[in-house]
A and B are shown apart, each in its own frame.
Chain A
């Protein structure tokens, strides 16, 4: 059973471009979470999704950020018009149920030039 997969592992964008981060949960897991780790800061919750539904997006910035988890395919975290402050490691986690262990992917390290 493969673990949580994220791609790309590293992503470089120029200011104003779009960034798309992908996450494939572990097999059998229908709950997906996105977290962001800014330099010198702890991990912060961004959004929690189940298949085709956003359950909690209280940690998402109000503008430029969106997330989806379609019926088929990976979960996508999309950042439009990136700025330097978006440079961070973005981690995806999945779990079989809401109160179960969350398993994390290796992360995508976004650098905005």
Chain B
């Protein structure tokens, strides 16, 4: 059974800091990994999708990497801003479903 872990559960950083969010998963038989952002009381916004054959994806200030063999992914956020404050969810895709971690709640202090 796939398990996805995101540690720590919460993170607070000052504005401008570069930061890395970690995600680990137990079963490497995945076909993709997706990072989402969720604002309080809202839905999920897809940030980046990495196919299993890829090593990383970039979008603006975000960079996500995937190491399937070790069961790890990281989301790098450059020059963090208060507007980046949200919960970041990692989800691995396999067998037609996504398995989610519990998320990391990020707070960027002005």
A101 near B34: Cβ-Cβ < 8 Å: yes
For chain B, the count of residues having a C-beta within 8 Å of the partner chain is 25
- Tell me the complex Cα distance, A59–B99, Å: 11
CB-CB < 8 A to A107: which residues of B?
A: 42-43
Interchain CB contact under 8 A, B97 and A59: yes
Picked from B42, B95, B98, B103, the residue with its CB within 8 Å of the CB of A102 is: B98
A52 within 8 A of B: no
Which of B44, B49, B101: most chain A Cβ within 10 A?
B44
Query: Does A99 lie within 8 Å of B31, measured CB to CB?
Result: yes
B28-40: CB near A (< 8 Å → 1, else 0) gives 0001101010000
Q: Are A104 and B97 in contact (CB under 8 A)?
A: no
On chain B, the residues within 8 Å of A35 by CB distance are 98, 100
Interface centre among A35, A99, A105 (most CB of B within 10 A): A99
Residues of B near any A CB (own CB < 8 A): 4, 31-32, 34, 36, 41-46, 49, 51, 89, 91, 93, 95-103
Contacts A42-B101, A99-B31 known; list 4 others, CB within 8 Å: A43-B98, A56-B96, A91-B44, A102-B46
Q: Could you give 28 example pairs across A and B, Cβ below 8 Å?
A: A33-B96, A33-B97, A35-B100, A41-B102, A42-B89, A42-B101, A42-B103, A43-B91, A45-B99, A48-B97, A55-B96, A56-B96, A56-B97, A58-B97, A91-B43, A91-B44, A93-B44, A93-B98, A99-B51, A100-B49, A101-B34, A102-B93, A103-B46, A104-B44, A104-B46, A105-B43, A107-B43, A109-B41
